[in-house]
Structure 1
Amino acid sequence: MSSEEIAKYFDATEFREIREDLVFAASMVSEPKVAIDCGCGAGADIDYLARNGFTVYGFDVEQESISRCQSRFDGIGNVILSKSSFIDFDYPQASLVVADASLFFCPNSEFEHVWSNIYQCLLPKGIFCGSFLGKEDTMAVSGNNPSVFWPEVTALEESEVVALFKNFEVLRFKTHKSTGKTPQGITHNWHIYQVVAQKANN
């Protein structure tokens, strides 16, 4: 994705409506209210969480994301930002991990290690709230496709997503399939698994 496309995407999502899954997930968290926003983008989820009493660690591989969030959350002490990839980020202990439309872009070769880091950083009874790319999504299809704006993505079968949560209680599991336009105006077939789950208390 070019710098111009990244900027347009962040412009379109900076003040987007907060997903109901995140509202629900945040309501399930008890103390300590510490969240990690994986691939924080323009900071919409950070803003919601910080306003609801969370200390939020946000990271993104794009400098545009971090620059925008640094400006947006300047002087707000409960927001900690870092320019990092999934593999490089130093995951603190957290009661909530948010990964909305971001784990898609973790290379398949690194996904197992990244998922282990996410699992390990979650406190007992901690909440995961995020989404996974299905095999039928436009981004999962190889070829000269304008929606494939990342060199490698991780797309999973439903059974593979379910297996990730063997040590969780799954609170919500939704499969989303639709066709529409991206914020950049490109036609896209979406195939996404949305999950809210609570880590076992051990």
Structure 2
Amino acid sequence: MAENWSGHYKHLNEKTPPAAMLSRALAAFQRENAGNGEKLSLDLGCGNGIDTLAMLQDHWQVTAIDRERQALEAVEKLAEPELRSYLTTRCIDFAEIDILPAYKLVNATFSLPFCPPARFDHLWHIICNAISPGGRFSGQFFGVRDSWSSNPEMTFHTREGVQKLLAGFETEHLEEVEKEGKLISGQPKYWHVFHVVARKI
């Protein structure tokens, strides 16, 4: 399961599109004319920075968190000079976070499953508390039939479990996908993924 992260990042660049769930969330805010309030967002496990860049370009103030310094350096490199004042980076393992400020948008593209089970409920509680009413979560949860599900350091959910996590949210998009596929590196993988956009009530 574990890939070399430098090898992972080399397959991605500024031409890679942002995650579909993030794009849905940003479009929803645009329809609501969300610019009337503070546009504060968190990219949790920001990875290559593509999602962070999309939020910056949509004039969000973004805090990008990742435990890999290389990931944050990629984010800083991608951000246009005129947008860098809107970007804050933190090099930390998000599984160890104990408090977060308020955000209008929390994005976690394929990152939350990498939180160990012993810390997941605590982290999710912190995320839920951080999202302000009317704010959104966008991201993924891995299902129990995912080919990585035997990894005890990762967290997996049933559909019912995901629905319980979203109590207190209006679920705007919940798509369960199971398929044979590949990693970005080209290695084969069986995916069982829940794609989510949810609005805090």
TM-score (norm 2): 0.88
Task: Report if aligned partners of 1:96, 1:127 keep a CA contact under 8 Å in 2.
Answer: yes
* Structure 1 counterpart SS, 2:11: helix
SS at match of 1:175: strand
CA deviation string 1:67-102 (max 9, x = no partner): 222333374110100111123345221100001100
Counterpart of 1:50, as a letter, is L
What does residue 87 of structure 1 align with?
Answer: 95
SS in 2 for 1:49: helix
Measured in 1, the distance between the counterparts of 2:69 and 2:176 equals 31
Corresponding residue for residue 65 of structure 2: 59
Percent identical among aligned pairs is 26
* Structure 1 position 26 matched with structure 2 position 26: yes
In 1, are the aligned partners of 2:106 and 2:138 still within 8 Å (CA)? yes
Which whole-Å CA distance do the structure 1 matches of 2:25 and 2:170 have between them?
Answer: 13
After superposition, the C-alpha distances for 1:7-37 in whole angstroms (9 at most, x for unaligned) are 1211223332223321220122322211100
How far residue 183 of structure 1 moved from its aligned partner, in angstroms, is: 1.6
Residues 170 and 195 in structure 1, CA contact (< 8 A), matched pair in contact too: yes
C-alpha separation in 2, matches of 1:139 and 1:19:
21
Give me the whole-angstrom Cα distance separating, in 2, the residues matched to 1:107 and 1:74.
Answer: 34
**Which residue in the other structure is 1:13 paired with?**
12
Q: Please, which of 76, 98, 120 is the counterpart of residue 111 of structure 1?
A: 120
Partner Cα separation in structure 1 for residue 125 and residue 13 of structure 2? 29
The equivalent residue for 1:97 is: 106
Q: Which residue of 2 aligns with 1:148?
A: none
The separation in 2 between residues aligned to 1:20 and 1:187, in whole angstroms, is 22
> Secondary structure of 1:48's match?
helix
- Write the letter of the residue equivalent to 1:37: D
User: CA–CA distance in 1 between the matches of 2:79 and 2:18?
Assistant: 17
SS state at 1:56 partner: strand
| SS in structure 1 at match of 2:119 | helix
Mapped contact 2:95–2:116 kept (Cα < 8 A): no
- Distance in 2, matches of 1:63 and 1:112, equals 26
Which residue in 2 is equivalent to 1:145? none
Aligned pair 1:43/2:42, yes or no?
no
Q: TM-score, normalised by structure 1?
A: 0.88
- Contact preservation (8 Å) 2:50, 2:75: no
Q: Distance in 1 between matches of 2:163 and 2:96?
A: 26
Distance 2:80 2:56 in 1: 13
Unaligned runs of 5+ in 1: 143-150
Q: Which amino acid aligns with 1:56?
A: V
- Residues 162-181 of structure 1 aligned to structure 2 (within 5 Å): 162-181=163-182
**SS class of match (1:77):** helix
CA RMSD of aligned residues (A): 1.6
User: Size of the alignment, in residue pairs?
Assistant: 190
SS at match of 2:138: strand
For 2:155 and 2:123, the matched residues in 1 are separated by: 12
CA contact under 8 A between 1:28 and 1:127: conserved in structure 2?
no
Distance in 2 (alpha carbons) for counterparts of 1:171 and 1:83? 31
